[in-house]
Amino acid sequence: MEGVKEKLGRVIRSKWLVIVAGIWIQCTSGSSYTFGLYSQTIKSKLDYDQSTLDTISSCKDIGANLGIISGLLYGVSSPWVVLFAGAVQNCVGYAMMWLSVTGKIPRPALWQMCAYMFFAAHAQTFFNTAVVVTSVQNFPTYRGTVVGLMKGFLGLSGAILVQIYHTINEGDQSSYIFMLSWLPTVVSMLFMFVLRVCPCHQEDEKKTLDWFSAIAMIVAAYLMVAIIVENVLSMDTLSYLIICLVLLIILLFPILVAVKSELNYSSSMPLYTQPLISQESHIKEIPTHAEIREQRIPERIAGITEADFHRKQSNAFAPGSLIYSKIPKKEDAKSCSNTSNDMSLVKTGKLERGQNFTLFQAMGTLDFWLLFVSMACGMGSGLTTVNNMSQIGSSLGYTLTEIATLVSLWSIWNFLGRFGAGYISETFLHSKGCARPMFIAIALFIMSVGHLVIASGLPGALYAGSVLVGICYGCQWSLMPTTSSEIFGLQHFGTLFNVIATASPIGSYVLSVRVVGYLYDSEAQREKHLKIVHMTGLFQSPEETCNGSHCFRLSFFILSAVSLLGCFTAMALFIRTRKFYKQVIFEGIRFQSCPTVN
């Protein structure tokens, strides 16, 4: 009978506490999503024009998506080192911005302000890399679910930070910048030693992950209601305080799930408490691709070293990757691997798909560039939409309250896409062996439809279109890391998915500046010319603005075509990888679900 001390130790060492730490870190990591909340203060206090503010915003987008350094650092160090590096950047970046805005230091040059913004946003990639990569390594079989969960809470973090701001700093945007300098920093440093790789496998992991997923849905639903109420009704400080306290209580629920799950599992001996070197340790490797193909699974039960134990966690379905605690019966294991002898080995270059690719090896494959282009189209067009949401609403005659509601609710649709895509793709992969790139293609097709809805300019079209585009934009952030980890392996996963994520700012820059911005300015210039013609004799020149559905119609037709191009690119990746998902990934999952020895 375990005492309280032993039970507490089990909970602290469990990988469920790692999930809780990851959720809480992600809840405060999305400060870059709230730039619109304090950008006006930067503009007014430092006497910037709109062009200068857009330059700072571009540095934010680059910093928030340039995660190559965090990925490389994760590959040569531990998760806590990555979190610490992110915490330092976050603190320094936002603290320097706060000192600049409040006049406590001399007015910085533009390049200095851009550097402060870059470092503050760049911290987000360190938090995200540490949490996502560690979660995938802890739950390789349910990587879609955990990526969707972590990315989903990151998507909600903007709305969570805004609720905290309303409670403690309402009306003082410079104080909000100060809050961003310490809150994410403190949270990440509190849990940086909790976040670690736990190479173990427990039964009924999916059931516990579903509980975490349910909590995420509750948080999203609560925030959606809170956002709508706050934008419709007049709220006082007490009301904001009550809303924030209820939110914080809901965010404590994950720790209850973690404790309950670990204590319920205490009746059976988990893998991580068994000796690592033992002839009777019941450690079993997943079959290699060749063994699956040849219908034979040798019974290798020999002891392994601790170094090998951790190394083999680097890839979920590559040869010798997953380690399980029980051995399938010989006849059942054989039936589980009953695939045809003529299955051809799926290869990419010199390495098989699913093995550990380095960055340069992956960049030498067509799979990498198909995924990159589809993300540039999907993420780029989605980010372009949200960056221009206020301008679009203004041109269509929406009120400031309606525009604020649209922008606030974007984080909810973003969450639903991130969480839903991971969960749904995981379900179909485990039940049917469906390749994840198929879901990328579906999401991009729906996004293309969403852009067409916005382009129509019909009453309520911006609401409906933003829902479709927001959900599908979130889908890309969940499906891309999961797909890259399955095709290119987990050993360099942090670097690979962060490199592919650079497709987002690249696509956004091309579409925002070279397409949407250029076409809007052309329409605004044309309207200004018409106004001048009809205002002959007036001394004041009319403003260079555009009003009406025609302002963005052509732009969104182009965005729709770009999303459709991304859909076709993702379909090409699906066609190339569907056999790999069916014959390797799905077979690995079936092997794990084989009956076990009592």
Min mean pLDDT across 182-186, 208-212, 234-238 is at 234-238
pLDDT tens sequence across 423-470: 899 889 888 888 999 999 999 999 999 999 999 888 888 989 999 999
Angle between helices 503-511 and 493-501 (to 10 degrees): 0
CA 214/CA 149 separation, integer angstroms:
10
Burial readout 168-206 (b: 16 or more C-beta within 10 A, e: otherwise): eeeeebbbbbbbbbebbbebbbebbebbbbbbbbbeebe
pLDDT tens sequence across 100-109: 999 899 999 9
Min mean pLDDT across 205-214, 340-349, 576-585 is at 340-349
Looking at the predicted structure, is the pLDDT value of residue 274 above 70?
A: no
Q: What sign does the dihedral 70-152-418-216 (CA atoms) show?
A: positive
Residue 318: the pLDDT is 41
Residue 101: the pLDDT is 92
CA 379/CA 387 separation, integer angstroms:
12
Residue 39, both tokens: 């950008």
Looking at the predicted structure, is the pLDDT value of residue 9 above 80?
A: no
At the topology level, CATH places domain 354-529+542-598 in Growth Hormone; Chain: A; (1.20.1250)
Q: Specify the DSSP element, H or E, that contains 309.
A: helix 306-311
pLDDT tens sequence across 317-340: 443 343 333 334 444 444 443 433
Residue spans of the domains in the chain: they are 271-353, 354-529+542-598
Q: How confident is the model at residue 262 (pLDDT cuts 50, 70, 90)?
A: confident
